[in-house]
């Protein structure tokens, strides 16, 4: 019998599928300013989108905090994470694809889903940086390892080519997209050299391909260790909205539109 929970809620049509809470922004006596990660970037993204008149507070969905009972359910299943919880809770969700475009290998979810045939993992990362988890790599179904300083053209071509193949190999019920901005040029921890325009284009590319197949997509913003990442994330969301890839009209995006290559197929 399903565990009773208050985590799931009805979302009115007047609200956007953007989940945010002010509690996402971490502060601790100003010490957060000493950390390379901008712990307040999510609040900055929302503020920028409000300035652009795209959002208001009444249009956001605020996540509910998991109770102790909810977390005990997770941990009694050996650190069962949210996506596995999703399989148990949401009708029609039995297969998922994780598209991890953070600069680092996603060894956490790879270890979590090791051997789970319901979950297909595509991971594109800098092969020279943390964590270099060889065991976790066994869970990756489509692995794209990048070199130091990889730039826009090569990166975007590899993402497009491999995402198309991933969705051909495994048609999921949902795509979970890890849209890390630590791929940005100048990010000392990511070690790649993608321009701000390249980050925006990457998100557009992923949404066009996924929405063109009439698949739902959940985007999480993930890593990004520069102060300018909030502006870039906001610009990307504005771009997705202007193209009809998110918002009230997003469901009307056709597969025909997405079949036109966004980039020339030059890089294997």
Given the structure tokens 């039995």, which residue do they identify? 94
Which pLDDT value is given to residue 86?
Answer: 67
Residue 119 CA to residue 114 CA, distance in Å, equals 9
User: Residue ranges of the alpha helices (H) in the chain?
Assistant: 41-51, 68-76, 82-89, 107-112, 134-137, 152-169, 196-212, 229-242, 255-258
Q: Single out the residue of 27, 180, 24, 174 nearest to residue 100, CA to CA.
A: 180
pLDDT at 255: 38
Dist. CA 219–CA 74, nearest whole Å:
22
The pLDDT of residue 23 is: 85
Q: Which residues of the chain have pLDDT under 50?
A: 80-83, 252-261, 264-268
- pLDDT score for 194: 98
Q: Which residues pair with 267 in a beta bridge?
A: none
Of residues 99, 110, 111, the one with CA closest to residue 217: 99
Residues 155 and 148: beta-carbon distance below 8 Å: no
105/126 Cα distance (integer angstroms): 7
At residue 75, the pLDDT reads 53
pLDDT at 264: 44
Cα–Cα distance for residue pair 245/212, rounded to 1 Å: 9
Q: The whole model's pTM is what?
A: 0.81
Tokens representing 116 are 């789970």
Domains and CATH numbers, the chain: 19-243 (3.40.800.20)
d(CA 110, CA 81): 12
Geometric angle at alpha carbon 227, from 225 and 229, rounded to 5°: 75
Q: Are 122 and 98 in contact (CB under 8 A)?
A: yes
Q: Return the pLDDT at 50.
A: 95
Residue 146: phi and psi, rounded to 5, are -105, 160
């Amino acid at each position: 019998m399903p565990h009773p929970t208050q985590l799931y809620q009805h979302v009115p049509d007047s609200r956007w599928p953007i989940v945010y809470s002010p509690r996402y922004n971490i502060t601790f006596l100003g010490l957060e300013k000493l950390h390379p990660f901008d712990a307040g970037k999510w609040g900055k993204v929302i503020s920028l989108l409000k300035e652009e008149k795209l959002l208001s507070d009444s249009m956001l969905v605020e996540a509910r905090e998991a109770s102790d009972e909810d977390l005990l359910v997770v941990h009694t299943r050996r650190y069962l994470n949210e996506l596995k919880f999703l399989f148990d809770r949401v009708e029609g969700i039995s297969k998922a694809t994780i598209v991890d475009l953070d600069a680092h290998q996603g060894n956490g979810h790879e270890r979590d889903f090791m051997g789970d045939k319901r979950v297909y993992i595509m991971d594109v990362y800098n092969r020279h940086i943390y964590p270099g988890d060889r065991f976790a790599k066994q869970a990756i179904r489509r692995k794209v390892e990048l070199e130091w300083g990889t730039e826009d053209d090569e990166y975007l071509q590899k993402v497009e080519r491999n995402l198309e193949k991933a969705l051909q190999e495994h048609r999921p019920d949902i795509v979970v997209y890890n849209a890390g901005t630590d791929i940005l040029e100048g990010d000392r921890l990511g070690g790649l050299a993608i321009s701000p325009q390249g980050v925006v284009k990457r998100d557009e590319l992923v949404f066009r391909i996924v929405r063109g197949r009439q698949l739902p997509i959940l985007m999480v913003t993930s890593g990004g260790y520069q102060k300018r990442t909030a502006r870039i994330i906001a610009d990307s969301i504005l771009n997705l909205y202007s193209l009809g890839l998110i918002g009230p009209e997003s469901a009307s995006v056709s597969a025909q539109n997405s079949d036109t290559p966004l980039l020339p197929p030059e890089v294997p």
